[in-house]
């Protein structure tokens, strides 16, 4: 099966703390939020994969992201060169294409003593 990546988009979200109880007990909750990177990956078959990552980890360069467009999605299925969020988007799209949950793509469940 071949699915061609047609578009990869990166969104930076700034999510403010909003839990009322925390706001009065934590100075950080009054002045800070949580920054998150959200990835959206689209294929030629109109399958969309989503993933999110912490802003504290290394991000792929715009050139690396652009080089994914036009390539087979499954080339990146086990790629550890992607950040967590982009890898999640690849796995999400692959799971949707194959009609299996992502945990099935990751391998069998380990048993105690394995």
User: Is residue 97 scored above 70 in pLDDT?
Assistant: yes
Neighbour count for residue 64 (Cβ, 10 Å): 14
Contact 9, 40 (CB under 8 A): yes
* pLDDT confidence of residue 18: 61
* pLDDT confidence of residue 82: 84
The tens digit of pLDDT for each residue in 18-52 reads 655 555 555 555 556 678 899 999 999 999 999 99
Q: What is the Cα 71 distance to its own chain's centre?
A: 18
State pTM to two decimals: 0.80
Domains of the chain: 5-102 (3.30.390.10)
Distances (CA, A) of 94 to 52, 70, 77, 85, 103: 16, 16, 8, 14, 11
User: Is residue 84 scored above 70 in pLDDT?
Assistant: yes
């Amino acid at each position: 099966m071949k699915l061609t990546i047609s578009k990869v988009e990166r969104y930076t979200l700034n999510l403010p703390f909003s839990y009322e109880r925390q706001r009065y007990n934590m100075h950080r909750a009054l002045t800070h939020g949580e920054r998150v990177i959200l990835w959206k990956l689209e294929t030629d078959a109109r399958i969309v994969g989503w993933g999110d990552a912490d802003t504290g980890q290394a991000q792929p360069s715009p050139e690396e992201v652009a080089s994914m467009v036009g390539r087979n999605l499954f080339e990146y299925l086990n790629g550890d060169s992607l950040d967590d969020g982009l890898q999640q988007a690849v796995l999400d799209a692959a799971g949707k294409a194959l009609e299996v949950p992502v945990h099935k793509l990751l391998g069998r469940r380990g048993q105690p003593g394995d």
